[in-house]
Structure 1
Amino acid sequence: MRKIKGLWKLLFGRTTLLVLLVLFQIAVLIGGFALLDKYIFIFNYILGFVSLVILLYILNARQNASFKLTWIMLILFAPFFGVIFYLFTRVQPGTLFIARRIESTLEAQRPYLAQSPELLRRLETESPETAGLARYIHDSGNYPAYENTQVKYFPLGEDKFREMVKQLKQAKEFIFMEYFIVDKGFMWDTVLEILAEKVKEGVEVRFMYDGTCSLSLLPPKYPEKMRELGIQCKVFAPIRPFLSTHQNNRDHRKVLVIDGRTAFTGGVNLADEYINEIQRFGHWKDTAVMVRGDAVRSFTLMFLQMWDIGEVNTPTPAENYMRYDFTPEPDLPCEGYVIPYGDSPYDTEYVGERVYMDILYNAKKYVHIMTPYLILDEEMITALTYAVKRGVEVIIMMPHIPDKIYAYLLARTYYGQLIDEGVQIYEYTPGFVHAKVFTSDDEKAVVGTINLDFRSLYLHFEDAVYIYKNAAVADAEADFQETLKKCQKITRQDCREYNSLKKILGRVLRLVAPLM
């Protein structure tokens, strides 16, 4: 009976319907292209001219070289489809609206995110290169560096969950939550029960999740249920059966802010596999941090930035930012510098990638990396391999049991080249690594949502926190070393003996890697 229900859900569920409607639209477009190409001969000359203009534009655009190459190949080998698809992705009213809304929100928040000149001068004396990175992050994304901030590192999702529950129960003023994945189960049921209780106590609760959840995890009218509980709720970019480039830019952030004094971020979503309550791909290795103190302000405003994007043609009232700007506890034991930052696909700055590359180019002893995916462009490959050539130890920790086989096959295509250059690659044998962590030289660490793949680095809304000379750096590195004991090192021999068919599939996938 259960199998019959599962088959019924597969055949007639929302996901199947959405896929069929999108495939129908694609079929109509391709059919129209074929008819035009067959019967309107003069159109081929026009198409050739337009293709040339677009190719010249792509070559001169401020865009990653891998994306340029993918578009050039598509237009050269399938001119009609390539031209129409490129124009379709570049002329979208919805995406233009979102870009303008983000720009106006950042401008409104600018007075609240001014960089302290005194702090920057102190940082300059300690580390000129870190001060330069701090200037770049602030100038590019409006995110300042902070002192007076405490950071607590969590080596597992269940560790973060326990502290998260404790802090939620202590909320007095407001709770802001923004997550990529939300799924019913022990974790979310526990959190939802606390949120509902806090609303009754007069706490303002806002909750936002990415629209991919409405595809298969949560009912389409779930926000209405949340509002019935008194929880303000929004879905970012709900999945709809219409072709739109807006669907390509997901909100991959994981941000929790409590009373403007405590914030969480990291790889942990709101689903039971993230805390090993259930097992899907072996043991789930994830990480997170809790931030308390001055730096929470950036997380508060980062959340409000995404909340205020709203829907197209739906004006969002201006936020009273001062209402959520709380003074942290004065007696927090703090050290070092902390820079929370976000990354947006709607500007020309790839902040997430630049921070990672800055660590690689300035490392003196080591760079240790945890990432679930490895889909790299030439710039990142150069940064990784050049660090090794300078005598820096570079270790990348990857999953041994992948959640997405296509992503793993793609990652394997980079193993041989990186190993040949001296980069060490380990796989976490107990299961799946979902952590996104960089540590370097016992001084620097980044913990956040940013994977080493094209989607995270260029296409998604992401967030992370850069930590310098804070005790959390040592905690993150100690966790890396402890986890490394459970990993197997991948050798060149392992690469040679890997399944030939899987190697070929991975190489073929490299053709469309920037779109994955």
Structure 2
Amino acid sequence: MGRIKKMLRIIFGRSMFAVISLMIQILVIAAAYRFLSFYLAYFYGAVTLLSALVIIYILNKEENPSFKMSWMIPVTAVPVFGTFFYMLVELQIIERFMEKKLKSGMDETECYLEQNPRVMERLLKVSRRNANLAHYMKEYGNYPTYGNTNAQYYPLGEAMFEAMKREIAEAKRFIFLEFFIIEKGEMWDSILELLESKSREGVEVRIMYDGMGSLTVLPYNYIKVLQEKGLKAKVFSPIKPVISSYQNNRDHRKILVIDGHTAFTGGINLADEYINRKVRFGHWKDTGIMLKGDAVTSFTMMFLQMWNISEKDPEKYDNYLRDPEYFYPLELNMDGFVIPYGDSPLDKESVGEEVYLDIINNARYYVHIMTPYLILDYEMVKALTFAAKRGVDVSIILPHIPDKKYAFLLAKSHYGELIRAGVKIWEYTPGFMHAKVFTSDDTKAAVGTINLDFRSLYLHFECGTYLYRNEVIRDVERDYQETLSLCRRISLEDIPNDPWYERFAGRALRLFAPLM
């Protein structure tokens, strides 16, 4: 009976409605293409010229060559359909509106994100290379470098979940939540109960989740349910049954900000598999980080920038800065440097990828990576392989039980090239690896939401925390080594053991890698 109800919900739910609507639009486009084909003799020359102009336009765009190739193939192979479909996707008014609103929000918050010159002076004395990265982050993303920040690393979602509940319970003024996925269950229900309680105490609570991430796990009217509980809530980019490229730009960030002095981020969504209360792909390995101190200002402003994309009234940003009377405990790990950062698909900067490349390119001894996906562009492959060739210990932990078969096949298509160059590939045998962690040379680490795939690096809104010479980096590396003991190393001899059709599929899927 339960299966029947679940099937009926799928058949008559909004997901099926969206799929049917998209199929109708595709059929209309196909019918238009067929109709125009009858007049091929009259407009073929015009279409050929238009296709050539589109290819020239694509070639001259400032974007990753892999994206250019993924568009040039359909434009060349199927000129009419490919050309008009590209123009349909490229000419999106909603995306331009989002870009304008986000830029406006970043301009409005710039005055709250000024770089403390004393922090930069101290960083310059320690490391010119990291000062250069800090300069890039501030100039091209408006993400300052902070001192005076305490960091706590969580090697599992269960540990971060308990910390989140403790901090929420202590909130006095406001709580901001921004997550890709929210799903009913033990994790979300217990957090929601706390949020309701804090709201009754007069604490302002704002909740934002992604339309795609929660499409199949929350009711369509769930926003109203939250609002009736006295909470401010909204869906980022709700799914609509129209062909639009802006639907591709999801809010994949995970941010919890409390009173402007405490922030959480990492790979952990608000659903039970992230704390292993529900088993989906074996044991779920995830990580997160909590910040207390000056650096939380960046996460506060990142949240408000995204929240106000769909708001008309001006925001009173001053109300959400850290209370000057709040004192956080001074601990040893406050001596380092912290850069919270975001990444937007609507600007020209791939901040998330640049941080990863900077870590890889400047590594002297090791680069250790945990990631659920390995869908790489040319630049990332060359950076990883060159680091290994020059003697750096480059080691990557991936899932053994994948959540997406096609992504796993794509990842495996890179194994041979990476292993031959000296990169060590490991699979987390207990289950699924969902952490997004880089650590290097006992001095650097990055913990956040950014996967090693095209979607995270180029198409999604993301966030992370870069740490330099902070005590917590030891905890990150210790977790990596402990996780490594649960992994199986992949060798070149293992690759031919995969069925030939899987190896072929993995290589063929590279054509569509920029969309995955």
Shorter-normalised TM range: over 0.9
Q: In structure 1, list runs of 5 or more residues that go unmatched.
A: none
SS at 1:191 equivalent: helix
Do the aligned partners of 1:214 and 1:239 also contact (CA within 8 Å) in 2? no
Q: Which residue of 2 aligns with 1:318?
A: 314
Q: Which residue of 1 aligns with 2:327?
A: 329
Q: 1:107 to 1:382 in 2, by over 3 A?
A: same
SS at 2:407 equivalent: helix
Do the aligned partners of 2:143 and 2:298 also contact (CA within 8 Å) in 1? yes
Q: Which residue of 2 aligns with 1:467?
A: 467
Q: Which residue of 1 aligns with 2:294?
A: 294
Q: How does 1:80-159 map onto structure 2 within 5 Å?
A: 80-159=80-159
Q: Which residue of 2 aligns with 1:65?
A: 65
**117-126 or 257-266, which moves further after superposition?**
117-126
For 1:279 and 1:368, the matched residues in 2 are separated by: 27
One-letter amino acid of the counterpart of residue 192, structure 1: L
Q: How does 1:342-421 map onto structure 2 within 5 Å?
A: 342-421=342-421
SS at 1:455 equivalent: helix
For 2:39 and 2:468, the matched residues in 1 are separated by: 64
One-letter amino acid of the counterpart of residue 501, structure 1: Y
Q: Which residue of 2 aligns with 1:431?
A: 431
Do the aligned partners of 1:175 and 1:257 also contact (CA within 8 Å) in 2? yes
User: Residue by residue, what CA displacement relative to the aligned partner does 1:156-175 show, whole Å, maximum 9, x if unpaired?
Assistant: 00000000000000000000
One-letter amino acid of the counterpart of residue 316, structure 1: K
Do the aligned partners of 1:293 and 1:332 also contact (CA within 8 Å) in 2? no
TM-score norm. by structure 1 comes to: 0.98
For 2:38 and 2:426, the matched residues in 1 are separated by: 53
Q: Which residue of 1 aligns with 2:478?
A: 478
One-letter amino acid of the counterpart of residue 484, structure 2: L
For 1:2 and 1:331, the matched residues in 2 are separated by: 51
User: Residue by residue, what CA displacement relative to the aligned partner does 1:137-169 show, whole Å, maximum 9, x if unpaired?
Assistant: 111111100000000000000000000000000
Q: Which residue of 2 aligns with 1:41?
A: 41
For 2:117 and 2:27, the matched residues in 1 are separated by: 57
SS at 1:216 equivalent: coil
Do the aligned partners of 2:14 and 2:220 also contact (CA within 8 Å) in 1? no
One-letter amino acid of the counterpart of residue 228, structure 1: E
User: Residue by residue, what CA displacement relative to the aligned partner does 1:42-74 show, whole Å, maximum 9, x if unpaired?
Assistant: 221111111111111111111101111111112
One-letter amino acid of the counterpart of residue 437, structure 2: V
**1:213 CA displacement:** 4.2
Give RMSD over aligned pairs: 1.0
Do the aligned partners of 1:115 and 1:144 also contact (CA within 8 Å) in 2? yes
For 2:282 and 2:38, the matched residues in 1 are separated by: 53
One-letter amino acid of the counterpart of residue 330, structure 2: L
For 1:178 and 1:332, the matched residues in 2 are separated by: 28
Q: Which residue of 2 aligns with 1:449?
A: 449
For 2:4 and 2:362, the matched residues in 1 are separated by: 58
Do the aligned partners of 2:182 and 2:214 also contact (CA within 8 Å) in 1? no
**1:98 CA displacement:** 0.4
**441-450 or 318-327, which moves further after superposition?**
318-327
One-letter amino acid of the counterpart of residue 22, structure 1: L
For 1:168 and 1:3, the matched residues in 2 are separated by: 37
For 2:213 and 2:224, the matched residues in 1 are separated by: 15
* Number of matched pairs: 512
Q: 1:214 to 1:126 in 2, by over 3 A?
A: closer
**55-64 or 260-269, which moves further after superposition?**
55-64
Do the aligned partners of 1:260 and 1:296 also contact (CA within 8 Å) in 2? yes
**1:413 CA displacement:** 0.4
SS at 2:215 equivalent: helix
Any runs of at least 4 consecutive aligned residues in structure 1 with deviations exceeding 4 A, and if so which?
none
The reply on whether 1:238 has 2:234 as its aligned counterpart is no
For 2:327 and 2:344, the matched residues in 1 are separated by: 31
SS at 1:215 equivalent: coil
**1:214 CA displacement:** 4.7
**401-410 or 208-217, which moves further after superposition?**
208-217
For 1:505 and 1:35, the matched residues in 2 are separated by: 34
One-letter amino acid of the counterpart of residue 322, structure 1: D
TM-score norm. by structure 2 comes to: 0.98
SS at 2:9 equivalent: helix
One-letter amino acid of the counterpart of residue 392, structure 1: V
**1:40 CA displacement:** 4.1
One-letter amino acid of the counterpart of residue 317, structure 1: D
**1:331 CA displacement:** 4.3
Do the aligned partners of 2:180 and 2:214 also contact (CA within 8 Å) in 1? no
- Percent identity of the aligned residues? 52
**1:320 CA displacement:** 1.1
One-letter amino acid of the counterpart of residue 80, structure 2: F
Q: Which residue of 2 aligns with 1:341?
A: 341
Q: Which residue of 1 aligns with 2:208?
A: 208
**1:20 CA displacement:** 1.3
Do the aligned partners of 2:341 and 2:465 also contact (CA within 8 Å) in 1? yes
For 1:347 and 1:291, the matched residues in 2 are separated by: 27
**1:125 CA displacement:** 1.3
**249-258 or 489-498, which moves further after superposition?**
489-498
